[in-house]
Amino acid sequence: MPPRRSAPVTTGEPELFTHYHVIAVESPIGRIHIESDGELITRVSFDPIRMRRAKPPKVLVEAKKQMEAFLKRRRKHFDLPLQRPGTPFQKLVWDHLDEIRWGDSRTYQEIADRIGGKAIARTVGSACASNPLPIIVPCHRVIGSNGLLTGYVGGIWRKKWLLIHEGVLSKDLFDEA
């Protein structure tokens, strides 16, 4: 999670802080909050984020537009400037998530195998759980090796909805299981 504020400047000047802006998008899976520092998208959350009463920066207006198009199946990927604070391993996993196209999925083990080295499915799962940009960086497209839906920051029901929305899962087949 990005820091809420930068450290105060100690030059005798008034304290300067990085201000974060938030915009909310209404969706079938609840309100989606998108946060920006004014230049980059810093976080996506299903939980409320304290909003600043100010005109949203252009990057947030564009993020809302792209998210709404995604929810209407008019956009299959996002083209936004993103801030991705994380460990080198987390960033490597998130880069692999970006490669999973709309309508497709991967297992945690498949991603671990692509990364190679000491990566194992569990560490990939941990990196997915730390993704600060769910939906935009599509960690919902990662499933268990047995085909089961496993953890998701927004809850399994949201993951299920997103995968049905993208055509990865059939609503009829999934409801019968």
* Domain boundary pick from 83, 107, 140: 83
The domain tally of the chain equals 2
Provide φ and ψ at 100, rounded to 5°. Answer: -80, 115
Mark whether 56 and 116 lie in a shared domain: no
Interatomic CA distance for residues 98 and 77, integer angstroms: 9
Mark whether 45 and 59 lie in a shared domain: yes
* Domain boundary pick from 25, 58, 83: 83
Distance from the Cα of residue 34 to its chain's centroid = 10
For residue 149, which amino acid is it? L
CATH number, domain containing residue 129: 1.10.10.10
Helices marked H in 27-129? 58-71, 88-98, 108-115, 121-129
**How do beta strands 41-45 and 32-36 pair?**
antiparallel
pLDDT tens readout for residues 17-56: 455 799 999 999 999 999 999 999 999 999 988 776 778 8
What does the pLDDT read at residue 145? 86
Mark whether 65 and 103 lie in a shared domain: no
* Domain boundary pick from 56, 83, 110: 83
Residue 7's pLDDT band (boundaries 50, 70, 90)?
A: very low
* pTM for this predicted structure: 0.83
Spatial neighbors of 14 by CB under 8 A, at least 6 apart, are: none
Mark whether 98 and 76 lie in a shared domain: no
Look up the domain containing 112 and give its range.
88-176
Mark whether 74 and 8 lie in a shared domain: yes
Mark whether 61 and 103 lie in a shared domain: no
Question: Which of 32, 44, 133, 139 is the catalytic position?
Answer: 139
**139 catalytically annotated:** yes
